[in-house]
Amino acid sequence: MNVSEAVGRTLVERGVRQVFGVVGSGNFHVTNAMIDAGARFVAARHEGGAATMTDAYSRMSGEVAVLSVHQGCGLTNAMTGVTEAAKSRTPMVVLAAEATQPKSNFYVDQEMLARSVGAVPIRVGSAESAVSDAAAAVDLARRERRTVILNLPIDVQGDEVVDLSVPAEALAAEAPSPRTEDLTRLVEALAESQRPVFVAGRGSRGPGCRQALEDLAEATGALLATSAVAKGLFNGNEWYLDVSGGFSSPLAAELIVGADLIVGWGCALNMWTMRHGRLIGQGTRVIQVDLDPDAIGSQRPMAEGVIGDVRATARAALDRIGEPVPGYRSDDIRRRIVAEIRWRDVPYEDDSTGDRIDARTLSIALDDLLPDDRVLSIDSGNFMGYPSMYLSVPDEWGFCFTQAYQSIGLGLATAIGAALARPDRLPVAALGDGGALMSIAEMETVARLGLPMVVVIYNDEAYGAEVHHFGPDGHNLDIVEFPPTDIASIARGFGFEAVTVREVSDLSPVADWVSGDRGRPLLIDAKVTSRASWWLEEAFGH
Ligand SMILES: Cc1ncc(C[n+]2csc(CCOP(=O)(O)OP(=O)(O)O)c2C)c(N)n1
Q: State pLDDT tens for residues 3-15.
A: 999 999 999 999 9
User: What's the gap in Å between 481 CA and the centre of ligand 1?
Assistant: 12
Q: What is the pLDDT of residue 524?
A: 98
CB 351 within 8 A of CB 327: no
Q: By percentage, how much of the chain surpasses pLDDT 70?
A: 98
How remote is the CA of residue 465 from the centroid of ligand 1, in Å? 6
Ligand 1 centre and the CA of 383: distance in Å? 10
Residue 539 above 70 pLDDT?
A: no
At 540 the pLDDT is 58
What residue type is 496 in one-letter code?
F
Most informative mutation of 379, 458, 463 for ligand 1 (most atoms within 8 A of CB): 463
Atom of ligand 1 nearest to the CA of 435: 15
Q: What's the 432 CA to ligand 1 centre distance in angstroms?
A: 8
DSSP-assigned beta bridge partners for residue 430:
378, 456
Identify each DSSP E strand in 261-367 by its residue range: 261-265, 285-290, 304-307
Judge whether residue 213 has pLDDT over 70: yes
Average pLDDT value for residue range 150-155: 98
In ligand 1, the atom with minimum distance to the C-alpha of 480 is 23
Question: What is the pLDDT, as a whole number, of residue 298?
Answer: 80
Closest C-alpha among 485, 511, 410, 343 to residue 50: 410
Residues near ligand 1 with C-beta < 6 Å? 380-383, 406-409, 432-435, 458, 460, 462-466
At residue 76, does pLDDT exceed 90? yes
Q: Return the pLDDT at 457.
A: 98
| Ligand 1 centre distance from Cα of residue 332 (Å) | 41
Residue pLDDT, tens place only, 165-195: 988 887 666 767 789 999 999 999 999 999 9
Give the per-residue pLDDT at 423: 97
- The whole-number pLDDT of residue 302 equals 77
Residues of the chain with pLDDT > 90, as a percent, come to 91
* Four-CA torsion 132, 137, 140, 146, nearest 10 degrees: 170
Nearest CA to ligand 1 atom 26: 407
Nearest residue (by CA) to ligand 1, atom 1, is 407
218 pLDDT exceeds 60? yes
Is residue 310 scored above 60 in pLDDT?
A: yes
Report the relative pairing of strands 497-501 and 522-527 from DSSP bridges.
parallel
Dist. CA 347 → ligand 1 center (Å): 28
Taking the alpha carbons of 484, 489, 494, 497 in that order, is the dihedral positive or negative?
positive
pLDDT greater than 60 at residue 541: no
Which pLDDT belongs to residue 425?
98
3-state secondary structure 86-140: HHCCCCEEEEEEECCCCCCCCCCCHHHHHHHCCCEEEECCCCCCHHHHHHHHHHH
- H-run or E-run covering 253: helix 250-257
pLDDT in tens, 416-466: 999 999 999 999 999 999 999 999 999 999 999 999 999 999 999 999 999
* Residue 542 predicted with pLDDT over 60: no
